[in-house]
Chain A
Amino acid sequence: DQQVKQNSPSLSVQEGRISILNCDYTNSMFDYFLWYKKYPAEGPTFLISISSIKDKNEDGRFTVFLNKSAKHLSLHIVPSQPGDSAVYFCAAHSGGGADGLTFGKGTHLIIQP
């Protein structure tokens, strides 16, 4: 049973526009959430995180929104740039159980020139 879901396998956005990547989760025990960016044949790179007690966190062009009642979070990238083309993983940390992150399957973001 997938606890972190990214329902869009891919997303195509024009350069300069806003990219919105979505993530849903089912486990109420998750205490913070993270977004990672991954290029082929490389390890994931940390982008931004948000605590479950907050609803927004911003870092430069990246903003993460958390809607706890809907168990939904989203990553906004504004403006989108060609270098943003990559696979983006949503991940969640649980305070209990095995230490480590639970990942979604990822969304492949393609920025069109």
Chain B
Amino acid sequence: EADIYQTPRYLVIGTGKKITLECSQTMGHDKMYWYQQDPGMELHLIHYSYGVNSTEKGDLSSESTVSRIRTEHFPLTLESARPSHTSQYLCASRKSGSRDGYTFGSGTRLTVV
């Protein structure tokens, strides 16, 4: 059973729409991350959070925004979707100090038409 959940799994939406990708984890992890992956390419870190009310931008510039009001919830929002935002978005979490690896969700495949 997955301990980190992403919804929706797939989303096709028109240009200009506002969208929110949901990510929730039940492991009590303090750190959470959003990665973006295009087909055949590496995962790029776009946002991360160290805990409630903490958000930082990652290595890859993104027009999306995130919030962390609750420990378990780390949604990503695009105010106005564009075709260039078409990609897979992966949410991950880990506990501070743990080197056992980040736990990833199943991802959201976003297509903007």
A interface list, Cβ under 8 A from B: 2, 4, 9, 32, 34, 36, 41-47, 49, 51, 89, 91, 93, 97-106
Contact = CB atoms under 8 A, between A and B. Distances in A.
Contacts of B102: 34, 46, 101
22 contacts: A4-B42, A32-B99, A36-B101, A36-B104, A43-B92, A44-B90, A44-B104, A49-B100, A89-B43, A97-B59, A98-B59, A99-B48, A99-B50, A99-B56, A101-B102, A102-B45, A103-B35, A103-B44, A105-B41, A105-B42, A106-B40, A106-B42
A14 to B, nearest CB: 25
Given A43-B4, A100-B48, 13 more contacts: A2-B42, A34-B102, A36-B104, A41-B109, A43-B90, A43-B104, A46-B103, A49-B99, A99-B33, A99-B48, A100-B35, A100-B59, A103-B44
Interface in B14-73: 31, 33, 35, 40-45, 48, 50, 56-59
A98 B58 CA distance: 6
A2 B102 CA distance: 21
Contacts of A42: 106-107
A43 to B, nearest CB: 3
Interface residues of B, number: 30
B42 A44 contact: no
